[in-house]
């Protein structure tokens, strides 16, 4: 064990500090993924102290020919090196600012926390974000790559992690997957921006009434499913407002709390939260074909139709969508239209999500 204890961390730290002045935080962050349970500031300070002891030993044992070579690295270590420096050199110690954060990382954390506290509401879950300046972002990336820092943690991550920890100690609830608000600190302008996160749900609906559309903007009377629900509602595909929909049609609803709803002739089943790729895929799904039941009035007998009463017939027509259906119904007196089912990926979508939702209840 003792023989395998090599001083790679110390060598790496010496190499870095020969080139760049680094504060305790930024040096510690270079080894952040080693020995968890400490702050980066503690890591950086520990490495610097060990390095100073090692440097002192080398000088005392006359292993360094020209000790003035050490000046640079001592300046770059910063205030912890002042006493040792004064022991060996007569000139003034040079104070340098951290190459990465310009000695401002703790100031960023304090300001972020202070401003986040002004925005956050107790009881609402949050996630934090940090917007670095372009210059800082580039400098950090180059630093990490050029020095091959495999255990590096980004400055952004350190700020988010530590401020988040302090906020949760004060009773605010972090939630990385489904936060209600996102609080982003913009370092350049020293401002905190709050975003309300909306959660989208995939629901399926049947419309057993006629004349009420999904979206408010297509509604002539002002009545719509969207206005009843009071939240943004988008249908990946739809039907003419006068058709009843017997099949399960998808609907993306924002922040829907109910599992099931009956309103204005709509039956809505909320199946699950959807986001990202899954959500964009759902928007692209359209049926290849739809099966309609059309009730028509005809004085002549309709051979393919089912006579339901006197001159009333039901006919079943497959069409790409309602526009194609309407063009094929030219010349008929149409009483009503119902959508019975769809074919293609739309069928699979409803089957999969509804089955999953029913299993979970």
Query: Which residues sit at the interface with Zn ion, rule CB under 5 A?
Result: 23, 26, 98, 100-101
State in angstroms the smallest separation of the CB of 259 from Zn ion: 50
Looking at the Cβ atoms of 40 and 238, the one nearer to Zn ion is: 40
How far apart are alpha carbons 357 and 53 in whole angstroms? 64
- Region at 27 (left for phi over 0; alpha for psi -120 to 50; beta for the rest): alpha
Looking at the Cβ atoms of 140 and 226, the one nearer to Zn ion is: 140
Looking at the Cβ atoms of 76 and 271, the one nearer to Zn ion is: 76
State in angstroms the smallest separation of the CB of 99 from Zn ion: 7
Looking at the Cβ atoms of 130 and 225, the one nearer to Zn ion is: 130
Looking at the Cβ atoms of 101 and 357, the one nearer to Zn ion is: 101
Looking at the Cβ atoms of 22 and 203, the one nearer to Zn ion is: 22
State in angstroms the smallest separation of the CB of 29 from Zn ion: 8
Looking at the Cβ atoms of 113 and 158, the one nearer to Zn ion is: 158
Looking at the Cβ atoms of 55 and 98, the one nearer to Zn ion is: 98
State in angstroms the smallest separation of the CB of 48 from Zn ion: 12
Three-state SS letters, the chain? CCCCCCCHHHHHHHHHHHHCCCCHHHHHHCCCCCCCCCCHHHHHHHHHHHHHHHHHHHHHCCCCCCHHHHHHHHHHHCHHHHHHHHHHCCCCCCCCCCCCCCCCHHHHHHHHHHHHHHHCCCCCEEEEEEECCHHHHHHHHHHHHHCCCCCCCCHHHHHHHHHHHHHHHCCCEECCCCCCEEEEEECCCCEEEEEECCCEEEEEEEECCCCCCCCHHHCCCCCCHHHHHCCCEECCCCCCCCCEEEEEEEEEEECCCCCEEEECCEEEEEEEEECHHHHHHHHHCCCCEEEEEEEEECCCCCCCCEEEECCEEEEEEEECCHHHHHHHCCCCEEEEEEEEEEECHHHHHHHHHHHHHHHCC
Backbone angles phi, psi at 218, to 5 degrees: -95, -5
Residue 229 tokens, joined = 């629900």
Looking at the Cβ atoms of 30 and 98, the one nearer to Zn ion is: 98
State in angstroms the smallest separation of the CB of 151 from Zn ion: 17
State in angstroms the smallest separation of the CB of 129 from Zn ion: 20
State in angstroms the smallest separation of the CB of 28 from Zn ion: 9
State in angstroms the smallest separation of the CB of 106 from Zn ion: 9
State in angstroms the smallest separation of the CB of 15 from Zn ion: 17
Contacts of 199 (CB under 8 A, 6+ apart): 178, 254, 255, 273, 275
């Amino acid at each position: 064990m003792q023989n395998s204890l090599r001083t790679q961390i110390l060598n790496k730290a010496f190499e870095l500090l020969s080139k760049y002045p680094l504060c305790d935080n930024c040096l510690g962050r270079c080894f952040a993924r080693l020995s968890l349970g400490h702050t980066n500031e503690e890591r950086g300070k520990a490495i610097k102290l060990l390095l100073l002891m090692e440097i002192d030993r080398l000088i005392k044992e006359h292993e360094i020919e020209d000790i003035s070579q050490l000046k640079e690295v001592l300046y770059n270590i910063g205030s912890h090196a002042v006493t040792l420096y004064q022991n060996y050199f007569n000139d003034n110690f040079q104070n340098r600012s951290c190459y990465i954060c310009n000695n401002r990382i703790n100031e960023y954390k304090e300001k972020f926390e202070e401003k986040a506290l002004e925005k956050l509401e107790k009881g609402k879950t949050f996630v934090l974000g940090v917007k670095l300046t372009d210059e800082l972002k580039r400098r950090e990336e180059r630093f990490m790559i050029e020095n091959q820092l495999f255990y590096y943690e980004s400055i952004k991550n350190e700020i988010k992690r530590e401020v988040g920890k302090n906020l949760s100690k004060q009773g605010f609830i972090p939630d990385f997957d489904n936060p209600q608000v996102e609080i982003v600190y913009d370092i350049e302008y020293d401002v905190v921006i709050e975003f309300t996160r909306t959660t989208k749900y995939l629901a399926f609906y049947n419309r057993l009434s006629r004349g009420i559309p999904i979206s408010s903007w297509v509604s002539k009377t002002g009545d719509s499913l969207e206005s009843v629900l009071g939240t943004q509602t988008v249908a990946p595909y739809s039907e003419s407002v006068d058709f009843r929909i017997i099949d399960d049609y998808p609907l993306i609803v924002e922040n829907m709390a109910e599992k099931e709803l009956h309103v204005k002739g709509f039956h809505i089943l909320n199946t699950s939260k959807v986001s990202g790729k899954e959500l964009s895929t759902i928007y692209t799904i359209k049926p290849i074909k739809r099966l309609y039941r059309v009730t028509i009035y005809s004085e002549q007998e309709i051979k393919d139709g089912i006579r339901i009463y006197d001159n009333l017939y039901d006919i079943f027509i497959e069409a790409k969508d309602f526009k194609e259906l309407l063009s094929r119904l030219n010349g008929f007196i149409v009483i009503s239209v119902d959508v019975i089912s769809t074919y293609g990926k739309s069928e699979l979508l409803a089957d999969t999500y509804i089955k999953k939702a029913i299993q979970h209840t």
